[in-house]
Amino acid sequence: MNAQVTPLLEISRLNGGYGAVPVLFGVDLVIHPGEIVALVGNNGAGKTTLLRAISRVITASGGMKFDGEDLLPLTPEQVFARRLVQVPEGRQLFGRMTVEENLLMGANRRGNRAAIARSFDWVYGLLPKLAERRRQLAGNMSGGEQQMCAIARALMAEPRLLMIDEMSLGLAPIIVDQLLAILDTIRKQSVAIFLVEQDVFAAFSVADRGYVMETGRIVQTGTAQELSNDESVRAAYLGAEAGA
Amino acid sequence: MRPRFVILLVAVTALLAIVPIVGSPVMVQFGISTLLFAVLAQSWNIIGGFTGYPSFGNSVFYGLGVYGTAIAMAKFSLPFGVGLVCGAILAMLCALLIGLPVLRLRGQYFAIATLGLSVAMAAVFSNIEIAGANIGLILPLTRADGMFYELSLGLLVACVLCVFWISRSRFGMGLIAIREDEHAAASMGVNTTLYKTMALVLSALFTSIAGGIHAYFITFVDPASAFDSTLNVRMVIMTVFGGPGTVLGPVVGAFVLSAVYELLANWISTAAALLFGVVIVVAVIFMPRGIADLAAGIRRQGISYLLQNIRRYRL
């Protein structure tokens, strides 16, 4: 559907891993502006490794372009400065800093104070609960609020592509639904989202397209609709009987 | 910061500045060592308090400042100012070279690695001919305690202003983020290696200048006293006592502890060290995060702040 639009992130035949141990084998993946793309797969499939490769924390080879620019020679700070921002697994908030200080850390590469103030207004508008808790220590909040704070912190960097690792981990389904609704709002404000999830139900409920990863390879791709109706996907990830 | 507080600080600094004019020679000498201790504590605060890396290598930077100044003055007859610059460059280079590998270690491992360094440095300098080997060097004598005092005060003011800038800057935010969670800081685009190394180099800069001033002040240097790791312990104690990661805490800590030690030494010289230890133990129990936190805590919750800290230790 986005065939004419230049892709925001374009990964082709990417290999990568930890030192001598290869984890990713010829990964192809494309994200267009304004899209929500889900990457699903079991534990150990290589999902987080792919995120690390994109963030340039681990070595990788192959093709990886962000808005036409080659990502491979960049450092993690330079990737961040291109506004390709990650919400890490386990949230990794600064627990002894307040919500507001955490958000300020997200803006730490930006200099324009007026623009940062505008970002604060935007983020607090999206997540009014955080505005109430701005002076509270991030470590004292509930899991759902912490996840909101982690997303908000990443939004303070004005991302063009937001990569969220295991957003639903350890959260109640009702909280996950709230967060998914927020992601949908964020996407409408032209931030593309790359959602890396084990919770396939959650991921496909907001995503436009999806990729299924197994042992470091992309094994299936399609629209979220197609994938959630696909029998092998249903059998493997949605807990449905094959052919049911 | 409130303007009234700024006026108070300026007044205190002015008061400190006239000590050499009105005070006794003993007071001036006590003042020099106290001011230099405050500089050392504040420098340690940059790497230990803000960045959360408990450095035991600061006594190395101190020693390099001492020797840089001493060698320049005693061996090459260079002026004092040039000596200070030599010492500072030596210490900053050392911080850069050592920081890059050692700052990859965290917590106690970092502490041990840097501690090893200070022991090694004393041995190295005992065998360098130009540094006077293990006999040491004698610097030209000057009777100018007032000058040393004002120089120390000036250095302290510069150091405090630098830390104040850090506490307000993006750089400082990055250091605090590294202290709180280094992985998270990295994922927020903080160049952690660069920031940590910069913090160590800044710490080395002020530490080494304090060393250089002290060397010229006492006019004699030798490896054992230049690379004394108990000096590093005092930097840590003063910073923790005052409040690590705050702008004025380490200075207050250095002033209070120096005064307490001096009073105890005058009162009962034999048991002074023992009582000093007791003061520190009591202080750590009642105000585990230093004087700065105590002041804020008492204002916020009154006496229950103290009770809360006692309860934490189940006393």
- All structural domains of chain A, each given as residue ranges with its CATH number in brackets, are 1-83+159-244 (3.40.50.300), 96-158 (no CATH)
CB contact under 8 A, B184 and A88: yes
Beta bridge partners of A193: A36, A162
Gap between the terminal Cα atoms of chain B: 37
User: Which of A77, A87, A101 has the highest number of chain B CBs within 10 A, making it the mutation to test binding with B?
Assistant: A77
CA distance B101 to chain A (A): 18
Residue of A nearest to B190 (CA): A77
Q: Under a CB-based contact definition with an 8 Å cutoff, are residues B175 and B202 in contact? A: no
What is the spatial distance between Cα A108 and Cα A130, in angstroms, rounded to a whole number?
19
Averaged over successive runs of 10 residues, the pLDDT of chain B (315 residues) comes to 85 89 89 96 95 92 95 90 95 94 86 87 86 80 88 96 94 93 89 94 97 93 88 90 92 92 81 78 79 81 78 69
Torsion A93-A96-A102-A106 (CA) sign: negative
Beta-strand runs (E) in chain B? 137-138, 220-221
A244 pLDDT higher than 50: no
What is the spatial distance between Cα B175 and Cα B46, in angstroms, rounded to a whole number?
9
Residues counted in chain A? 244
Beta bridge partners of A15: A61
Fold held by B3-246: ABC transporter involved in vitamin B12 uptake, BtuC (1.10.3470)
Q: What is the pLDDT of residues B44-83, one digit of tens each?
A: 999 999 999 999 999 999 999 999 999 999 889 899 999 9
A11-25, A124-138, A198-212, B262-276: least confidently modelled range: B262-276
Six token digits for residue A139: 């470590």
A residues 125-184 near B, CB within 8 Å? 153, 157
CB contact under 8 A, A92 and B170: no
CA distance A1 to chain B (A): 32
What is the spatial distance between Cα B256 and Cα B26, in angstroms, rounded to a whole number?
18
Helix (H) or strand (E) holding B306: helix B304-312
What is the spatial distance between Cα B277 and Cα B116, in angstroms, rounded to a whole number?
25
Q: What is the pLDDT of residues A89-142, one digit of tens each?
A: 888 999 889 999 999 999 988 888 899 999 999 999 999 999 999 999 999 999
Question: How high is the ipTM of this complex?
Answer: 0.80
Of residues A85, A92, A153, nearest to B183 (C-beta): A92
Mean pLDDT value across chain B: 89
Beta bridge partners of B90: none
**C-alpha dihedral over B97, B98, B103, B109, to 10 degrees?**
160
User: How would you class A55 by CB atoms within 10 Å of its CB: exposed for 0-12, middle for 13-18, buried for 19 or more?
Assistant: buried
Domain range list for chain B: 3-246
CA R_g for chain B: 20
B172 CB within 8 Å of a chain A CB = no
pTM: 0.86
Q: Under a CB-based contact definition with an 8 Å cutoff, are residues B41 and B244 in contact? A: no
